[in-house]
Amino acid sequence: MNSYFVVKCCVLLQLIHLPHYSCVFECIDYTYNHCFIKMHSCRRLDDPIALKREFQTLAQCANYARERGALAFNYSPPQAARLRKNVDYLPNCQILGCPDIGYTNMINDSDYDYYTVYKNLSEESTCIKWMGMFHLFQEKMNYIDSVSACQSIGGDLANVVSETRTNALSLLLSNKLTDWQKVAYVGLDDRRKEGRFVTSLGNFLSCYKYRAWGPGQPRSKHRNEDCVLLDSDKTWRVVNCKLKFSALCEIYPKIPPCSTSTIRSERGCELIH
C-alpha cells in the first residue's frame, strides 16, 4: 500500500478480535501506536484545533499526534505549498482532540488532507478528547449480552481503571441516561475467580493503583455478584451478571481500508475515476 495513504506500517493490536476476558497472568501495557489513515484528500475537519505545529514530513506530524493521544489531524503536504491560496494559512499539522463523526464537519480545502484512526463512526458515538470513542447502549441487557453488543460495533465494555476515565465516563452516563438509576456495565468482573477482578483487556485489577469502589464494595459475601457497574457518582459496584442494565462500550481504533475520493496531482485535487 502506498505510504502516502498509510502514515506508518505499525503493528496495531486488534483488540476486538480477542475474546472478552482473555485472561493473562501478568501485567501487560496495552498502550499501542495508533495508525492514522488518510480518509479525505483536499479536505479538512473544521473543528477547533487543539495543537498546531509546522513539520517537514507527514510522519513527523503523525508522531506528534500519536504522542499526545490525538485521534485525528489535518495535514498540509509539501506538494500543496505552491497551491496555497489561503492568506490565513496555519501551521501544516493541526491536531484535533476528536475525529469527525459522520464527516458532517468536513470542508473542502485544497491545502489539507484529513487523517484519523477511526472509520465510519456512528452518529450515536461520543468522543472524549484525548481518551477515545464511546457508545452507550441504553437498552437493558445482562453482562454477556452487553459484551456481545460492544463487540458488534468494534469495541468492548469500557475500561475504567483510572481516575480520569472513571470521572469522564461517569459524566457521560449522567448526561446521556434518562433513568433515575444512571448506571451501566463496564469492562471489569471477577467471574473466573472470586475477588480477582479482570478488565476487558485481560489485565488483573491488581495491575493498577486506582480504585473507585462505592461504600461497602465489592461485597465479598455475595459470591453471585461478579460484574461491575459504573454510576453517575463516579463509583463502581458489583452486581449479579444476569441483571439487565445499560452498557458502556469503548470503540477501538482499527486500520480501515483507504477510501479517499480524491488524490493530489501536479494540478491540485482531482477526482479518482
CATH classification at residue 153: 3.10.100.10
What secondary structure, in 3-state letters, does 89-105 show? CCCCEEEECCCCCCCCC
Q: Give the separation between CA 156 and CA 49, rounded to whole angstroms.
A: 29
- In this structure, how many other beta carbons lie within 10 angstroms of the beta carbon of residue 162? 14
Say how far residue 267 (Cα) sits from the centre of its chain.
Answer: 36
23 pLDDT above the threshold of 60: no
| In a shared domain, residues 96 and 133 | no
Q: Please, which residues have CB within 8 angstroms of residue 178's CB and are 6 or more apart in sequence?
A: 138
Is the preceding omega at residue 218 within 30 degrees of 0, hence cis? Answer: yes
The pLDDT-based confidence of 89 (bands split at 50, 70, 90) is low
> Which of 11-20, 78-87, 103-112, 134-143 is predicted least confidently?
11-20
In a domain, 187, yes or no: yes
Asked if residue 125 lies in contact with residue 134, where contact means CB atoms within 8 angstroms, the answer is yes
- What is the average pLDDT score of the chain? 81
> What pLDDT score does 76 carry?
92
> What pLDDT score does 135 carry?
96
- Which secondary structure element, helix H or strand E, spans residue 65, and what is its range? helix 58-67
| In a shared domain, residues 264 and 229 | no
> What pLDDT score does 262 carry?
43
Nine cell digits for residue 21: 476476558
Higher pLDDT, residue 94 or 102:
94
> Which of 24-28, 109-113, 190-194 is predicted least confidently?
24-28
Task: Using alpha carbons, select from 212, 236, 239, 235 the residue that is nearest to residue 223.
Answer: 239
| In a shared domain, residues 110 and 144 | no
Asked if residue 114 lies in contact with residue 38, where contact means CB atoms within 8 angstroms, the answer is yes
> What pLDDT score does 124 carry?
87
> What pLDDT score does 32 carry?
52
Mean pLDDT over residues 229-252, rounded?
A: 96
> What pLDDT score does 57 carry?
93
Digit-coded pLDDT (tens) for 151-174: 999 999 999 999 999 999 999 999
DSSP one-letter code for 213: B
Number of structural domains in the chain: 2
Digit-coded pLDDT (tens) for 96-107: 989 988 778 899
Give the range of the structural domain holding residue 100, as residue numbers without chain letter. 34-118+260-271
91 pLDDT above the threshold of 90: no
In a domain, 62, yes or no: yes
Asked if residue 111 lies in contact with residue 80, where contact means CB atoms within 8 angstroms, the answer is yes
> What pLDDT score does 249 carry?
97
| In a shared domain, residues 213 and 134 | yes
In a domain, 194, yes or no: yes
| In a shared domain, residues 141 and 213 | yes
What secondary structure, in 3-state letters, does 108-169 show? ECCCCEEEECCCCCCCCCEEECCCEEEEEEEEEECHHHHHHHHHHCCEEECCCCCHHHHHHH
| In a shared domain, residues 145 and 230 | yes
Asked if residue 80 lies in contact with residue 25, where contact means CB atoms within 8 angstroms, the answer is no
- Percent of the chain predicted with pLDDT > 70: 76
> What pLDDT score does 254 carry?
67
The pLDDT-based confidence of 88 (bands split at 50, 70, 90) is low
> Which of 54-58, 218-222, 249-253 is predicted least confidently?
218-222
| In a shared domain, residues 38 and 108 | yes
| In a shared domain, residues 175 and 114 | no
